[in-house]
Structure 1
Amino acid sequence: MKANNRSDLSPPPPLASTNIGSSSTSLNEMEQECNLIFPDGGWPAWGVVIGSWCAMVPSFGLMNSIGVFEAWLADHQLKDYSKASIGWIFSLYVFFLYFGSIQVGPIFDAHGLKPLLIPGCVGLVGSLMVFSVAEEYYQFMLGFSVLGGISSSMVFTPSVGCIAHWFLRRRALATGVAATAGGIGGIIFPVLVSNLAGSLGFPWAIRIVGFISVMFCALSVALLRTRAPLLNPIQKGKMDIKSLSELRFSLLTAAIVLIDFALLIPVTYLPSYAQSRGLGDSLAYNLSSILNAASIFGRIVPGYFADRFGCFNVMIITAFACSVITFALWLPSQSNHTAILAYAVLFGFWSGSAISLSPVCVAQISKTDEFGKRYGTTYFLVSLGTLIAIPIAGELLKVQPPNEGLDNYFGLIVLCGLVYSCACLFFILSRAVSVGWGFKVF
């Protein structure tokens, strides 16, 4: 399918060559190989970005709100359960969010958008209605974790894939703009729950979150569109596990698995950490909103620079920064409330690129019509990492007693910092395999 003439668009700034398949290919040659001209701007393309943004508010907004949900359930409905047990609820939600992409991605490539997006939106809203009335542990697990996670995957994965159909030179910026929705949702939903649960009750607070999600889901269905031709019927539904035999792709996948593993630890446990340091329930719950507000800038700004200096280069810098501030600020913060707030802001900014730029890195070394399959392969493995991230951190809280001035959060924080360091290393290795060790825009 050919795109319309884009002569009315101002030309974007030139970029260095990008790799696709097994050879180094210029951006124009990438367009020819895909039989597709990328608008990289204009209302149809930016309308898709808005639609993707609307899809990510409920799907990723809920993931960015799990810290508040975890703290609330630990204090109320599930107060008799350990943090590790409660952590499984939200770990499974993130697991299914990513795990579903290994099949959702190929279906998106083969059948298009609407067969996934519409039932995904219905299931996502339905999961919130179940969550609002749940009382027992298994009800939270089935309603929020399983139904919500699978439905969110059917909403989130196609919304990311659509952007790759419309943008090439400005893909990182466009994805970064769309990914700010997760931060917006992570601001709105925790504030609603923390302020309305006390006055209206937790069920009605969650129902209001569901009503807001209905509006955003409807807008996403109206605005999202694809452009790349569908795959040959023989390829329909096939997963691309064999792509892991490509060294740079397997190294990149390892980096993304690690960075998402590390991201979930502060997102989930920073509010309860702040509570244990006497920050007060209201402010502790709002730490999630503060972190997510900072992540909005952390998704746009790195995306802007990634289009100019290289997506891999920016990911290396941001992963390294997250490791440094975790060791230098969160680890020694203890009861220093200013340090805790500063960490929420700084971590929110530097961690934002994990959501916005990781898919762009996958797209950078993939053909456009195969992006869904390769993205699904990567995030299938990410799902396995996120499945164990929150429970492992919860177990560290349980098994490490305070001693010699160190509290039971010490192991959890060190784990977070070390995993970020390893993610940085794997991004460096993947980049080196792709373009060598010298400084290049990549």
Structure 2
Amino acid sequence: MIFAKDKKLHHHAVTVTSLAHSQESLPHSEESGAPAAVAIVDDDDYPDGGSVAWRQVVACHLINAMACGYGAAFGIYQLYYTESLKLPSAQISWIGSVQIFLNNVTCTVAGRLADAGYAREVVLGGSFVALLGTFMTSLATEYWQIFLAQGVCTGIGLGLMYMPTITIIASYFKKRRALALSLSTAGTGTGSIIFPATVQYLIPQIGFPWTVRCAGFVALFMVVFMNALLKPRSLPQKTGPLVEWGAFKEPPYVIFIAGAFLFYWALYFGFFYINTYAIAVASFTPTSAVSLLLITNAVGIPARPIIGWLADTYLGPINAFIISSIGLAITFFAWIAIDTHNTMYAFAILFGFTNSAAQGGFASALASLTKDPAKMGVRFGMCCTIIGFATVAGPPTAGAIIDMCNGQYLGAQLWAGAVTLLAAATLGLARYWVSGAKFAVMV
């Protein structure tokens, strides 16, 4: 976005004054026992590179591998639980949906704590809770036990881990923020390969309980490494509301949240049901169907940096999010024609690229609407909390449509494509509010 020069100077002055005022109320680092954070005083005070900054990208990549990759891999668990528990697809979907819901809802608290200077503590606490939920899942034998361990406990832990990554990356990068955030969120693909592959291929060898424990030990290794690398830079802001109600008076922010809500309502339908669709429609075996989810997640790893680079260089973050959302809607509609092995593999590649590009575009687009870095966490947390209600409803909605259609997927596919297209249109309205009717402008 392009601002008038006097507005930019005024914003600079207000930012410096407000940050300085916040700093006066802070205790000295030796009193609090926490490492002193680096103050961000203006738009030029961002490293936008360097070894420390890129180490944060690596750490946040690993955090996303757990916080988002674990949830995106629920399709493997969906298949196993459906076969072992003999329950309806919609009921099984609630486990993964609640996990993703709590992941998002927890972001309001986690984001506020990250803004207050407790990013490392929040990530460490979330790591412990997520590991606890994972190991308790290995002991569960009934639906309610799995629901509490994997759905509730793990969901809360992953949410606490995820939110500080946005604040940390945004404090180190300005001009290359979209690229850095995309590289960070590409961890979703990394985790979505590691965890489902571990679960699927070890179950026949050592059984489900020990397989989940092995996944927990992999997560433990990630936790130790990521927490060793983390070095938050954002200015601690000790006072402030849990919810910044003034943000809801900004039309672009509110309209953007509405579009993101629609986007995430439909998104996880593909992740949860690609395996069951392949078995029911395209004659895949349960073992061969796993390869589809692995392909989907593997393709997503390069998709996010690509969309981040395009957003920084040519498109602008909001434009990139809109375009990639349209691509995902087209992919959902194309799914209707898929019914063979070869076309399923082609769909897995296309779905993996478009959904990962869209998710990568979401973070940088929302960050572009937040000008004060000291409010990045709380504003992200507010958005993610609202989105959480979409994620908890999406897969069960799709499952209910499939059950009503006697196991046919056409209705759910049409629903997902239409909702995603409506999301892109809503995001386009937010863009119009920011830039007006100008088409060829980076926003």
- TM-score normalised by structure 1 residue count: 0.89
3-state SS of paired residue (2:138): helix
Q: What is the CA-CA distance between 1:325 and the residue it aligns to?
A: 2.1
d(CA) in 2 for partners of 1:131, 1:29: 52
Q: 1:26 to 1:164 in 2, by over 3 A?
A: farther
Aligned-partner residue type, residue 433 of structure 1: W
Which residue pairs with 1:336 in the alignment?
A: 340
d(CA) in 2 for partners of 1:374, 1:187: 30
Instruction: Report the more deviating stretch, 44-53 or 279-288.
Output: 279-288
Aligned-partner residue type, residue 350 of structure 1: T
Instruction: Report the more deviating stretch, 23-32 or 383-392.
Output: 23-32
Per-residue Cα deviation, 1:182-210 (whole angstroms, up to 9, x for no partner): 10111111111111101111111111111
Report whether the alignment pairs 1:355 with 2:355. Answer: no
d(CA) in 2 for partners of 1:291, 1:341: 9
Which residue pairs with 1:69 in the alignment?
A: 77
Aligned-partner residue type, residue 307 of structure 2: P
Contact 2:133 2:154 in 1 (8 A): yes
3-state SS of paired residue (1:135): coil
Identity of aligned residues (%): 26
Contact 2:98 2:392 in 1 (8 A): yes
Q: 1:174 to 1:47 in 2, by over 3 A?
A: same
Contact 1:53 1:178 in 2 (8 A): yes
Aligned-partner residue type, residue 398 of structure 1: D
Which residue pairs with 1:440 in the alignment?
A: 441
Map of 1:359-398 to 2, 5 A cutoff?
359-366=363-370, 367-398=372-403
Q: Which runs of 5+ in 1 are unaligned?
A: 1-15, 402-406
Which residue pairs with 1:3 in the alignment?
A: none
Instruction: Report the more deviating stretch, 274-283 or 352-361.
Output: 352-361
d(CA) in 1 for partners of 2:16, 2:53: 19
Q: 1:27 to 1:354 in 2, by over 3 A?
A: farther
Which residue pairs with 1:279 in the alignment?
A: 284
Q: What is the CA-CA distance between 1:29 and the residue it aligns to?
A: 8.6
Q: 1:47 to 1:413 in 2, by over 3 A?
A: same
d(CA) in 2 for partners of 1:112, 1:424: 35
Per-residue Cα deviation, 1:5-53 (whole angstroms, up to 9, x for no partner): xxxxxxxxxxx6479xxx6789989986851401000101001101101
Q: 1:213 to 1:432 in 2, by over 3 A?
A: same
Count the aligned residue pairs: 413
3-state SS of paired residue (1:357): helix
Aligned-partner residue type, residue 274 of structure 1: A
Q: 1:263 to 1:124 in 2, by over 3 A?
A: same
Per-residue Cα deviation, 1:261-305 (whole angstroms, up to 9, x for no partner): 221000111111111121111121221111101111211100110
Aligned-partner residue type, residue 408 of structure 2: N
d(CA) in 1 for partners of 2:189, 2:151: 20
Map of 1:89-238 to 2, 5 A cutoff?
89-233=95-239, 235=240, 237-238=241-242
Contact 1:176 1:299 in 2 (8 A): yes
Per-residue Cα deviation, 1:135-193 (whole angstroms, up to 9, x for no partner): 11111111011110000011111122210110011011001111111101111111111
Contact 2:117 2:238 in 1 (8 A): no
Which structure's residues are more often helix, by fraction?
2
Q: 1:241 to 1:87 in 2, by over 3 A?
A: farther
d(CA) in 1 for partners of 2:275, 2:10: 46
Q: Could you list the runs of 4 or more consecutive aligned residues of structure 1 that deviate by over 3 angstroms after TM superposition?
A: 16-19, 23-34
d(CA) in 2 for partners of 1:437, 1:420: 23
Contact 1:109 1:373 in 2 (8 A): yes
Per-residue Cα deviation, 1:349-393 (whole angstroms, up to 9, x for no partner): 011133322122121111111011110110011001111111111
Contact 1:160 1:175 in 2 (8 A): yes
Q: 1:25 to 1:190 in 2, by over 3 A?
A: farther
3-state SS of paired residue (2:205): coil
Contact 2:71 2:100 in 1 (8 A): yes
Contact 1:241 1:377 in 2 (8 A): no
3-state SS of paired residue (1:198): helix
Q: What is the CA-CA distance between 1:98 and the residue it aligns to?
A: 0.3
- TM-score normalised by structure 2 residue count: 0.89
d(CA) in 1 for partners of 2:390, 2:8: 31
d(CA) in 2 for partners of 1:347, 1:25: 44
Contact 1:56 1:179 in 2 (8 A): yes
d(CA) in 2 for partners of 1:138, 1:44: 44
Aligned-partner residue type, residue 47 of structure 2: P
Q: 1:356 to 1:30 in 2, by over 3 A?
A: farther
Q: 1:27 to 1:357 in 2, by over 3 A?
A: farther
Map of 1:40-79 to 2, 5 A cutoff?
40-76=48-84, 78-79=85-86
d(CA) in 2 for partners of 1:197, 1:27: 57
Which residue pairs with 2:294 in the alignment?
A: 289
Q: 1:167 to 1:29 in 2, by over 3 A?
A: farther
d(CA) in 2 for partners of 1:268, 1:342: 18
Q: 1:231 to 1:51 in 2, by over 3 A?
A: same
Q: 1:295 to 1:24 in 2, by over 3 A?
A: farther
d(CA) in 2 for partners of 1:30, 1:53: 33
d(CA) in 2 for partners of 1:229, 1:199: 49
